[in-house]
Amino acid sequence: MTPSRRRLALLAAAATVALTGAAAGPAHADPPPDAPEQIDNGDFSAGVSPWFSYGTGPLGVTDGRLCTTVPAGLANPWDAGIGQDGVPLVAGAEYALAFDVSATPGTAVRAVLQLGSAPYTAYTTVDANATGTAARVEHTFTAPAENPSAQLIFQVGGSAEEQTVCLDNVSLRGGDPPEPYVPDTGPRVRVNQVGYLPGGPKNATVVTEATDPLPWQLRAADGTVVASGDTDPRGVDEASGQNVHTIDFTAYRTPAAGLTLVADGETSHPFDVSGALYDRLRADAAQFFYAQRSGIEIDGDLLGEEYARPAGHVGVAPNQGDTEVPCQPGVCDYTLDVRGGWYDAGDHGKYVVNGGIATYQLLSTFERTKTAATASFGAALGDGSLPVPERDNGVPDILDEARWELEFLLRMQVPAGQPLAGMAHHKIHDRQWTGLPLQPHDDPQPRELHPPSTAATLNLAAVAAQCARLFAPYDGEFAERCGTAAKTAYAAAKANPDRYASPADSTGGGAYDDTNVTDEFYWAAAELYLTTGASTYLADLTASPHHTGDVFDPRGFGWQSVAALGRLDLATVPSGLPAAERARIRASVTEAADAYLAEIERQAYGLPMPGDAGSYFWGGNSNVINNAVVLATAFDLTRDPSYRNGAVQAMDYILGRNALNISYVTGWGEHAAENQHSRIFGHQLDPNLPKPPAGSLAGGPNAALQDPFAAQLLAGCKPMFCYVDDINSYATNEVAINWNSALTWIASFLADQGEAGAVPPATCAVTYTTHGSWPSGFTTQVTVRNTGTTAVDGWSLKFAFTGAQKVGHGWSAKLTQAGATVTATSERWNAKIKPGGSVTFGFNGTSDAGANPKPGLFTLNGSPCTS
């Protein structure tokens, strides 16, 4: 951590104690007067951050001092502490540690500068007797070891009485002044380090001082030149501040491994051209969620032995468990079993609003397979496709993974008979922030439920409604439970439309506050309508200003802006909307995609995001991908390859075509992020712990520099350079479930594109007519017409239902069903369909009382038909 330089003022009433001898260790010469300060926010003028505590009450700043209460009767001094991570030590350097401390009624306080993980080796220890009068403690020492990220802990436990302990003017001066940070950006030719699809766009960026076009060469692994041309000068890029040229080598389409681009005397990182580039990323991105699971032992045989760990937060000491969690004081008088779910990000908190969008995107990844022509009805997402414990249970693995979070979300609902019944608690997390690293099963902090919020309740309503229709073919009981919870939550939110999470509720976990929930109401109403077909939800969603408003922001959507989720599903999920209304909704998606394509053209690094500082924010990489999701959806709707090309180019930026020449996805690319902020994956701080698993996405450049480490290291950075691959930078380099859910969705889409070849015209058309329906069933007739120029000899027609519908007796075709997907194959006597000819078959079906719209995709012998 680079130092912040602050003048430390002694309290007028403070005594000064110079510590030497056994308790403090040998005395040493003072460091020089200009020695750098290594403690951040030691005077607490910036509030509590980045300080954390454990075993204490909430941290707060009172009269300029950091204060907390410490419960009586803790057995050991180390059972409660106040600390800061990321303190750099230089072996053999002189340091001066100083602080003001007081305690009422009075207790011993021990300051320990130590290794921040087992075996917690102490570099120096200072004992002080704190009383009601603040005392100044000063101590000099020589660092016995090198550690770029040590931990300073004030141990405050062990008193028989409750204590109020306060700190001020904490300082550690010494060591070397920081060297200017210069990122290693590698070769000046920036490419997608994973590679390019044979039929897709292929673009690169060259950083150069040249203003005229430069020659470039594409070289095979053996050095042979396989393509060449001239660069396109683009001038100074706003987001990076670099003078750049672009290279377009789209015309090269031959699959190959180990290709490089050469321009201006520089050779790019190697990459491949292949139609199978993204097959493994689809699984890697999704397996991140298993690694983040709470409440279950992580099986090393599934994820890799280095990731094996005991179940976290199940009540096994030192955990206090998630099986019987009380509310914050004054919030409720009950406890809830809220085990399971995913740890949200780099901490151990679980948040309904972030869990909502993340679960939605996993469910949407699967639901897309019912309507997207390239998705093959989910063959690549089926049972056995992911390393999850539930594999081989007859349910698509991505639904199994989503269910782990869904079960948690359902448990967060306020029980019947309680105040605010049906609403959802906003979040559950530790009472105090914990340090890095910390495995979930080692977390000693008490856990608390935070107040219910309207936003959380509507997130629950939306994803539970999705759950009801997607799980219906696999687990009717669970689907019904989800549907009931969704309706109950939506009604509770309408009865409590303005219960907002407090922006100040950020001790021990993120606030996730949101005071505009009109978008959540729109999204929830859309999902409930798509599942039930009920007119009440249709009325609510059409009355929303978001229904006809522009819901696609140039900077993407996220947990705080979810109207786009409702719009995307209304555009893609089959429903009873009038044809003209559905066409208008679909047009809004393609209009947004057109705007993102225009932005890609404007940006020299080819991403669908503006280049100003305001477009580089916390977790912005996920917003870049979410804009790619809109582009991909536009392709699914229109089959226009320009939209697919835009989605592909957005991933070029994520995987290396950027100013830092880094892939933001672990394990993917020659130079990829590997030190993401996480208490679980703390290898950078503790070599005994693993790095984040392959396929985890870093938050990305954040021009606001909202963590102390980044603020000190990157001050004055151009937006695209406001990132550091260091575990201490939570504002640029954290992991999060809603970022990996976006990556999972787009990776699945890209894997489905294969070589991204030309889109063939449809050669068939389907008419699907339901002639009669009743509460438990329906009768449907299907006509398939050959619109091509050659005869079809033997046919197989596939389509998928939206929910629990099942085919029964059929005629003029052999009918089978797997999950929601139906396959109708020809009889011997109607196998041939001449050009211009048609065949008709029919069936009786059973259904529940939910929606029963016409399926959204029909394929004839694997090729999509118009309908």
For the chain (867 residues), the mean pLDDT of every run of 10, in chain order, is 26 36 48 88 90 89 95 94 91 94 97 88 95 95 90 96 97 84 95 98 98 98 98 98 98 98 98 97 97 98 96 94 95 97 97 98 98 96 95 96 98 98 98 90 95 98 98 97 98 98 91 96 98 97 97 97 98 97 98 98 98 97 98 98 98 98 98 97 94 97 92 93 96 98 98 96 97 91 97 98 95 97 97 97 90 96 96
Name the nearest CA neighbour of 175 among 42, 7, 36, 29: 36
Judging by beta carbons within 10 Å of its beta carbon (0-12, 13-18, 19+), is residue 176 exposed, middle or buried? exposed
Task: Please give the pLDDT value at position 28.
Answer: 57
Q: Is 824 helix (H, G, I), strand (E, B) or coil?
A: strand
338 phi/psi in degrees, rounded to 5: -120, 40
Task: Please give the pLDDT value at position 395.
Answer: 97
Task: Please give the pLDDT value at position 163.
Answer: 97
- 677 in catalytic set: yes
- 401 in catalytic set: no
Q: Which of 43, 347, 430, 569 is flagged as catalytic?
A: 347
Q: Which position has the token pair 């101590």?
A: 139
146 phi/psi in degrees, rounded to 5: -90, 135
Q: Which of 677, 707, 726, 752 is flagged as catalytic?
A: 677
Cα-atom radius of gyration of the chain, to the nearest Å?
29
Q: How far apart are CA 553 and CA 592, in angstroms?
A: 8
- 407 in catalytic set: no
Cα-based torsion angle of the residue sequence 220, 224, 226, 229 in order, rounded to the nearest 10 degrees: 110
- Specify the pTM: 0.88
Percent of the chain with pLDDT over 70: 96
- 734 in catalytic set: yes
329 phi/psi in degrees, rounded to 5: -55, 130
Judging by beta carbons within 10 Å of its beta carbon (0-12, 13-18, 19+), is residue 397 exposed, middle or buried? buried
Sheet strand arrangement including 94-104: 15-18, 135-142, 94-104, 163-174, 65-70, 60-62
Q: Which of 725, 726, 752, 848 is flagged as catalytic?
A: 725
Q: Which of 514, 734, 752, 848 is flagged as catalytic?
A: 734
